[in-house]
């Protein structure tokens, strides 16, 4: 029996091979469409979600997993590990963290000796994924719960997400424009760039280039300013744009000191608000 099992939610954007390699438990969140509920990445793929969204008709919505889904994972992991660390996406944008805590209390009512820690990553997408991945790597090396938590907290301060939206249409349609409201008058003329910081736990608009090429260049410049020559792990995200994602991946490989570079589909849990056509970069700065 291992010391620590690491689990997270399906917004993490982690490649399936890494999830399998480090035995990370991923709880699928829920995509709702035409009166039916689908488990993210299990019953419906990100590609299918973005194909539906391009029709601009009946758009999907999202919801967190039930406490029962988290409880099921806790029960299963309790048979494999002495303790469990559950790392969720930011509590400022989802009730997933709250749901994981409810399930923890239920699990410990059933089995008081069960050791579960639930951590708010204050991150989203691949930034969350890197926190869970590094925690799982530490756990696979035999680290105890306190050390695994320490590793995760250290990574929290070194991750970030940049994302370019193809349009503000979906944010406006879903009523999620928020702090980007000032840009809504030119929905079709800009390629907004958003940045998510684990320091605040929020996603903020940072720039509004008018072309995709300029938006990509801006993201790379922002990343360069923050990363400099440090070793970095990177996930390139896309919402139905695999070809564009590969181009961006090649640019990153040529400009940065990457110790890990992956291409993943962007989590539809955020993608239902940001829309198809998105390109994103999640990165983890390993050294100063």
pLDDT in tens, 149-201: 999 999 999 999 999 999 888 877 755 445 444 454 455 578 989 999 888 88
**In whole angstroms, what is the distance from residue 166 CA to residue 163 CA?**
10
How many Cα neighbours within 13 Å face the side chain of 238? 18
Q: Which CATH architecture has domain 159-285?
A: 2-Layer Sandwich (3.30)
Q: Is the pLDDT of residue 65 over 70?
A: yes
pLDDT band of residue 10 (cuts 50, 70, 90) is very high
pLDDT in tens, 68-84: 999 999 999 999 999 99
The domain limits of the chain are 2-29+64-156, 159-285
CATH domain 2-29+64-156 topology: Rossmann fold (3.40.50)
* The pLDDT value given to residue 182: 46
Q: Is the pLDDT of residue 262 over 90?
A: yes
* The pLDDT value given to residue 178: 52
3-state secondary structure 22-70: CCCEEECCEEEECCEEEEECCCECHHHHHHHHHCCCCCCEEECCCHHHH
- Residues whose CB falls within 8 Å of the CB of residue 29, separated by 6 or more in sequence, listed in order: 9, 10, 11, 39, 40, 62, 63, 64, 65, 96, 269
pLDDT in tens, 204-220: 889 989 899 999 999 99
* The pLDDT value given to residue 160: 95
């Amino acid at each position: 029996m291992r010391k620590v099992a690491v689990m997270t939610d399906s917004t993490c954007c982690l490649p399936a091979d890494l999830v399998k390699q480090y035995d990370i438990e991923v709880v699928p969140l829920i995509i709702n469409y035409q009166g039916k509920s689908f488990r993210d990445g299990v019953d419906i793929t990100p590609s299918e979600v973005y194909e539906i969204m391009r029709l601009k008709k009946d758009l999907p919505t999202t919801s967190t997993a039930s406490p029962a889904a988290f409880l099921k994972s806790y029960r299963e992991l309790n048979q494999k590990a002495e303790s469990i660390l559950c790392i969720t996406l930011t509590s400022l944008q989802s009730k997933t963290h709250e749901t994981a805590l409810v399930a923890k209390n239920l699990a410990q009512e059933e089995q008081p000796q069960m050791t579960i820690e639930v951590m708010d990553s204050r991150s989203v997408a691949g930034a969350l994924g890197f926190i869970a991945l590094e925690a799982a790597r530490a756990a696979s090396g035999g680290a105890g719960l306190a050390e695994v938590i320490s590793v995760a907290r250290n990574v929290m301060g070194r991750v970030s997400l940049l994302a370019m939206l193809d349009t503000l249409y979906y944010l406006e349609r879903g009523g999620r424009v928020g702090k980007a409201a000032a840009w809504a008058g030119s929905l079709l003329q800009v390629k907004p760039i958003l940045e998510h910081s684990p320091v605040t736990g929020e996603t903020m608009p940072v720039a509004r280039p008018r072309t995709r090429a300029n938006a990509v260049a801006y993201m790379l410049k922002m990343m360069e300013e923050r990363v400099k020559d440090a070793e970095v792990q990177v996930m390139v995200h896309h919402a139905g744009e695999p070809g564009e994602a590969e181009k961006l991946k090649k640019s990153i490989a040529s400009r940065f000191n990457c110790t890990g570079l992956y291409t993943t589909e962007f989590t539809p849990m955020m993608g239902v608000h940001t829309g198809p056509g998105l390109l994103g970069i999640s990165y983890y700065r390993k050294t100063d």
